[in-house]
Structure 1
């Protein structure tokens, strides 16, 4: 018993994540004059005997000779055809697929005038849609029964990373500018990335870099440079650095700083102040002993240091 011919061809998108899916024809032949309905944000492709016959945009189409001249040529009919024919029909979602993720699995090498060669990581998102159904089918999709955006996204991640590195090199952007002006970098990178997608029949409607991560040593150096650029009074900066070190009670640099300040105060007491009038050596030693005790009470010197210096001053009496 012969199978009935297909007279109506249409398909509601079974899954919003589908890029392409094959119309289930149950191996039936298509009747000449059959109606093909393609909805908005869809395209349909007709494949006959392994060759692309035609691509149909949104609308209602009658599958007749005058509407499919390529099919007539492929089958070698000089006067058109009225008999049923066998063809595969594929539907495509042509709307935008948004917020797809990309990133650099390995660091990308950048040349920078200040830091030399720097390895950076970058991450972001992009929106894409099928712009040329025929090219997308030939260059990428092939004859898969269905293809999802997830599969495309995973394959494009490995494709975008090296292209991003090339585009970054062509843009000739300094590392600091790349980190500080991501929006401007987006505008430079997208036109450089687009030709790579065009080859597959795709259009990138938006390409965004959400973050660029620098190596730890570069970040430390950048922080030092930024900090020094903010210093306007080097004397105050030195005093602040010493005080900051002294606050680190258990660090070696903190101990050294406290000892340096303490001994400086003891040995140079009175050096920066006006010389006292009519003071005896005994008075001077007494003053220094009091200061020494104050330093000990403030825990700026250890008990051993306090005792040793105290004995030294007492010998002067």
Structure 2
């Protein structure tokens, strides 16, 4: 028997391990006498027989199945290997690490908003963290009928319910429909709690959820950018002071920014000064014209109605028409 025992030996391990796989099933293979079980870091191994869990092993290392594994199995603890026969069992390897998965809305979500009959179309994206939290539920709901389970399948399940959860928590926590990012933390917290309850139904726990960004229609974005630029121009003095302070704190790069902003403000000030000068010149010309008109009117008022020399009526002339006497 010693001559042939080596040819029946094999290794039970997670073949072709992938970081994006949540579990992988070693099945349809006969475990022979002398076989080894290898559990790597971040893995659990679950022995199953006829669809029933026989034992769960969580310590990493290499183990002799006959002497170190079988004695701890529920119904197979007394199993004896024969010379040319082995034990048929399934071994489910679980990836115990925490996964980080990106998500994004497939289509815009129409959030009810005042003045918009069809609602505000909003998209969002971010990421969430998850891990296996219940082996029994995962086996019952998923592993019993699948050879492996990937994070893409988790993402599909999450995205399928995400639109409703986003709408629910945006309406609950969104104080300003045009500045949802300010409330992103509270929105994400509510979604994580609801999503965790949903995913626990398949043995997966949601340990974290984040909304990285909300995006609005292009027209709304342009309006927001225009409003922001108008606000900056209206408060250019404060913006320049900030840039200069930033330049002093951050060296040449900040100084360059401050210099650019100071130059822009100087240009605006010079333009304003030129406008003031032009307006002052026009005002001066208008004042001179008015003075001339008033002088003429005053001159006309000083001419006597009759010549003081000969008594002839002057009719507003500067000299008497009869004797030539100067009247002004």
Superposed pair shares fold, TM > 0.5: yes
Of 64, 73, 82 in structure 2, the residue corresponding to residue 68 of structure 1 is 73
Report deviation, 1:203.
2.5
Secondary structure of the residue aligned to 2:124 is: strand
Distance (whole Å) between structure 2 residues aligned to residue 178 and residue 168 of structure 1: 8
TM-score after normalising by structure 1: 0.57
Partner of 1:48: 49
Partner of 1:291: none
Cα distance, 1:218–1:16 mapped onto 2, change above 3 Å:
closer
Q: How many residues align?
A: 234
Matched, 1:19 2:48: no
Partner of 2:249: none
Distance (whole Å) between structure 1 residues aligned to residue 48 and residue 36 of structure 2: 16
Contact 1:115 1:218 in 2 (8 A): no
Distance (whole Å) between structure 2 residues aligned to residue 15 and residue 92 of structure 1: 12
Partner of 1:148: 150
Cα distance, 1:49–1:141 mapped onto 2, change above 3 Å:
closer
- The runs of 5 or more residues in structure 1 that have no matched partner are 73-78, 234-264, 281-317
Cα distance, 1:118–1:47 mapped onto 2, change above 3 Å:
same
Report deviation, 1:88.
0.9
Of 279, 284, 289 in structure 1, the residue corresponding to residue 293 of structure 2 is 279
Matched, 1:205 2:207: yes
Of 159, 181, 206 in structure 2, the residue corresponding to residue 179 of structure 1 is 181
Distance (whole Å) between structure 2 residues aligned to residue 115 and residue 228 of structure 1: 25
Q: What are the within-5 Å matches in structure 2 for residues 84-163 of structure 1?
A: 85-98=87-100, 100-112=101-113, 117-163=119-165
Alpha-carbon RMSD: 4.2
Report deviation, 1:42.
0.3
Secondary structure of the residue aligned to 1:278 is: helix
Cα distance, 1:56–1:173 mapped onto 2, change above 3 Å:
farther
TM-score after normalising by structure 2: 0.55
Report deviation, 1:95.
1.2
Partner of 1:286: none
Q: Larger Cα Rg: Structure 1 or Structure 2?
A: 2
**Higher relative contact order (CA closer than 8 Å, sequence separation 6+):** 1
Distance (whole Å) between structure 2 residues aligned to residue 203 and residue 58 of structure 1: 22
Cα distance, 1:222–1:167 mapped onto 2, change above 3 Å:
same
**Greater shift in the superposed pair: 220-229 or 13-22:** 220-229
Cα distance, 1:153–1:35 mapped onto 2, change above 3 Å:
same
